[in-house]
């Protein structure tokens, strides 16, 4: 690695740390003014952002699962602006009293939420993340270090240029947001920046997440891949099931909350053709186990139906592909989910309250659904304004991570001259 590159990054990280210390002095109204200004400038600067995005798209195969994630258009930019406004409208997560009491010796203890400090994000071809992370980080009083993928470098730099312009116009340091150089070596420096970055969140493929978890010396929060199941129970309602499965699989197949495996109770195999019929209209390729394959053979388009192989279970497809698993009991469904789940989002379709209760109790995932689509696993959909990622781990944060998950806390103790006895 070039020492010049490493030294340049380390010096810049020191400047980001300095900028982070000034953020705690800002009022929530000042932060909201910055965010609303940014949201208002997205449309007037859309042409420049979309032109940069087009240059990135030209380098990517349209058939790539990442293409849709990389794509920006006017509608998506409008949605991003709306999310930023939502973040601005939310209560500040800072200085919230989490615990308060007075000890027998008269010491007054208060535990209150405070910023993390400097948050690092390593992500792939998702330029919307650049906006989302900045908005959530600023609202929670944090400075941000970004390492985007080379596939989206032009898009990210156009977005960061706009954000820096807004920060400067509000007399805030552009070092509040730092986009690392596109070289892969920059990520190595970032992951080893102990004392300069407080937390790293990887967003992207399982390979990226594994690499960051195994390499970083800085604490990591995993936002794992979404290997998502929906179990259609023997008491599932067919019309409801059709709509849920269609939405979960085809709404945006390239995102982490999209359905990967449909599990069906063997007593409902007679309804499988009807359950999957809308999927054929979207050209969804189905990898079916033997019993499901025989049930679909006469009705599902031949060119879209294949025999399932072992690797088709436990796979995040990120495309219009779906595996189907047949089970004989609820326990079988739960065992399959436990074996293959990434603990992201799991769903059951059933009219049996006992099955629903058992599913909620026994499925180990960040988000568990009954009779609705897994597509709702999203910070904005949860009323959080936006999200910085979907955590699949259990320490500190789980599920959609938004403002509160970007804070830690400190104890503040007031006394009247008390001293501790020997």
- List the CATH number of the domain containing 19: 3.40.605.10
Residue 116 inside a domain? The answer is yes
Residue 87 inside a domain? The answer is yes
- For residues 84 and 146, state if they share a domain: yes
- For residues 58 and 204, state if they share a domain: yes
Confidence (pLDDT) at 388 = 83
- For residues 30 and 127, state if they share a domain: yes
Residue 383 inside a domain? The answer is no
Farthest-apart Cα atoms in the chain, separation: 84
The arrangement of strands across the sheet holding 177-179 comes to 177-179, 143-147, 118-123, 199-203
Confidence (pLDDT) at 222 = 83
Confidence (pLDDT) at 2 = 60
Confidence (pLDDT) at 205 = 78
- For residues 198 and 301, state if they share a domain: no
- For residues 68 and 192, state if they share a domain: yes
Range(s) of the domain holding residue 26: 3-222+393-414
pLDDT in tens, the chain (422 residues): 566 889 999 999 999 999 999 999 999 999 999 999 999 999 999 999 999 999 999 999 998 878 988 999 999 999 999 989 999 999 999 999 999 999 999 999 999 999 999 999 999 888 999 999 999 999 999 999 999 999 999 999 999 999 999 999 999 999 999 999 988 899 999 999 999 999 999 988 778 888 999 999 999 998 877 899 999 999 999 999 999 999 999 999 988 899 999 999 999 999 999 999 999 999 999 999 999 999 999 999 999 999 999 999 999 998 999 999 999 999 999 999 999 999 999 999 999 999 999 999 999 999 999 999 999 998 888 888 778 888 888 888 898 888 999 999 999 999 999 999 98
- For residues 318 and 267, state if they share a domain: yes
Residue 153 inside a domain? The answer is yes
Residue 388 inside a domain? The answer is no
- For residues 14 and 157, state if they share a domain: yes
Residue 387 inside a domain? The answer is no
For residues 365 and 341, is the Cβ–Cβ distance under 8 A? yes
- For residues 235 and 349, state if they share a domain: yes
Query: Residue 114 forms beta bridges with which residues?
Result: 408
Q: What total number of domains does the chain contain?
A: 2
- For residues 217 and 344, state if they share a domain: no
């Amino acid at each position: 690695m070039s020492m010049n590159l490493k030294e340049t990054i380390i010096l810049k990280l020191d400047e980001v740390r300095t900028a982070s210390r000034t953020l705690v002095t800002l009022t929530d109204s000042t932060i909201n003014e910055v965010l609303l200004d940014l949201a208002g400038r997205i449309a007037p600067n859309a042409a420049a952002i979309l032109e940069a995005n087009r240059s990135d798209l030209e380098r990517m195969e349209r058939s790539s699962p990442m293409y849709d994630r990389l794509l920006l258009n006017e509608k998506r930019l409008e949605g991003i602006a709306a999310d930023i406004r939502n973040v601005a409208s939310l209560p500040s997560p800072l200085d919230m009293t989490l615990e308060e009491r007075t000890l027998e010796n008269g010491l007054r203890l208060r535990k209150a939420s405070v910023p993390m400090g400097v948050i690092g994000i390593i992500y792939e071809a998702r330029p919307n993340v650049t906006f989302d992370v900045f908005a959530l980080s600023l609202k929670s009083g944090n400075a941000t270090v970004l390492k985007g993928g080379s596939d989206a470098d032009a898009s990210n730099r156009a977005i960061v240029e706009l954000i820096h312009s807004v920060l400067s116009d509000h007399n805030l340091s552009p070092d509040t947001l730092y986009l690392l150089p596109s070289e892969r070596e920059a990520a190595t420096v970032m992951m080893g920046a102990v004392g300069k970055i407080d937390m790293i969140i990887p967003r992207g493929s399982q390979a990226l997440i594994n690499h960051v978890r195994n390499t970083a010396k800085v604490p990591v929060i995993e936002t794992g891949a979404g290997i998502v199941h929906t179990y259609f129970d023997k008491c599932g309602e067919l019309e409801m099931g059709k709509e849920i499965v269609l939405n979960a699989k085809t709404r945006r197949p390239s995102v982490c909350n999209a359905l990967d495996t449909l599990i069906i109770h063997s007593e409902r195999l007679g309804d499988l053709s009807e359950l999957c019929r809308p999927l054929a209209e979207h050209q969804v390729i189905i990898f079916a186990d033997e019993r499901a394959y025989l049930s679909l053979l006469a009705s599902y388009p031949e060119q879209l139906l294949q025999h399932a192989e072992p690797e088709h279970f436990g796979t995040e497809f990120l495309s219009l592909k779906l595996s189907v698993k047949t089970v004989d009991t609820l326990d079988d469904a739960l065992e399959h989910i436990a074996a293959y789940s990434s603990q992201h989002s799991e769903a059951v379709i059933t009219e049996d309250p006992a099955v629903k209760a058992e599913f909620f109790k026994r499925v180990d995932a960040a988000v568990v659904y009954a009779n609705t689509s897994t597509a709702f696993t999203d910070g904005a959909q949860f009323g959080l304004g936006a999200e910085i990622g979907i955590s699949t781990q259990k320490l500190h944060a789980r599920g959609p991570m938004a403002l509160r998950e970007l804070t830690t806390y400190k104890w503040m103790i007031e006394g009247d001259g008390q001293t501790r006895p020997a």
